Structure 1
Amino acid sequence: MATCRADPFIEHLLELMGPLAARIGPVTAKRMFGGHGLFYDGLMFALVSGGTCYLKADDATRGKFDAEGSAPFRYHSARREVTMRHYLSLPPAALESPAAMTPWARLAVEAALRLGNA
């Protein structure tokens, strides 16, 4: 049976999210659409594509992402470019430490919970 190699960037993200996961429960990664989704309690709160992590955002959190210059996730379909405004790029400083990542990951999980319960 072939084994799947771990993606170092995904492993790094999961490590950075470790302290949050220790408080709220497991955070998992799943391959999808040429990238990965990050999940908490069955809800996708982040997607990783092309070496960039995009976190779930909603009306309550979008302003914080905008203040950091975050960009929405975009991809090309057969007919056009699609923009997913509920997934915004992770501020680069969040990749530096678990302490820097935790507030951003928490915002994304909270947004996913709000949108999932809407």
Structure 2
Amino acid sequence: MIDWYRELLETIGPVSARKMFGGWGLFHDGRMFALVADEVLYLKVDAQTREAFAAAGSAPFVYESARGRAEMGYWRAPDEAMDDPEAMRPWARLAWQAAERQPQSRKRRVRGS
């Protein structure tokens, strides 16, 4: 499954996968732009791309936390794009663009350096 999701998204370039939080994070050029939870592919969204995903009938990734329901900036990949890398290309590009616009967190400095 992860290999297929990587293949779907690699129209934008090499994609790596890393296990995290019981699912997978998918990365391109060091930035996470997609996640897989419960075998469902979610793509990064922001204020500029959210409407396109909503118009395609997608829904946000929501999880239960100690504080209640929480929504992340990832939305389900559109169903019509799940069978063909070329159909996924515009969605992968939107997710990558949203990831690029998000400021990267600064890595913690190691004490003593």
Considering fraction of residues, name the structure with more helix: 1
- The CA deviation at 1:16 is 1.4
- The CA deviation at 1:107 is 0.5
Q: % of aligned pairs identical?
A: 51
Q: Give unpaired runs (5+ residues) of structure 2.
A: 105-113
Partner of 1:18: 10
Partner of 2:111: none
SS in 1 for 2:46: coil
CA distance in 2, matches of 1:10, 1:104: 17
Q: How does 1:57-68 map to 2 (within 5 A)?
A: 57-68=45-56
> Which residue type is aligned with residue 29 of structure 1?
A
SS in 2 for 1:96: coil
State the Cα RMSD in Å: 1.3
CA distance in 1, matches of 2:10, 2:67: 39
Partner of 1:101: 88
- CA deviation digits over 1:42-71, x for unaligned, max 9? 111011101111111111111110101111
- The CA deviation at 1:78 is 3.0
TM-score (norm 2): 0.85
SS in 1 for 2:102: helix
- CA deviation digits over 1:6-37, x for unaligned, max 9? xxx2111111123321xxxx211100000000
The runs of at least 4 aligned residues of structure 1 exceeding 3 Å deviation read: none
Count of residues paired in the alignment: 104
CA distance in 2, matches of 1:40, 1:63: 23
> Do the aligned residues in 2 keep the contact of 1:57 with 1:87 (CA within 8 Å)?
yes
CA distance in 2, matches of 1:116, 1:28: 20
- The CA deviation at 1:104 is 0.4
CA distance in 1, matches of 2:75, 2:58: 6
Partner of 1:88: 75
Q: Give unpaired runs (5+ residues) of structure 1.
A: 1-8
Partner of 1:5: none
CA distance in 1, matches of 2:45, 2:34: 9
SS in 2 for 1:12: helix
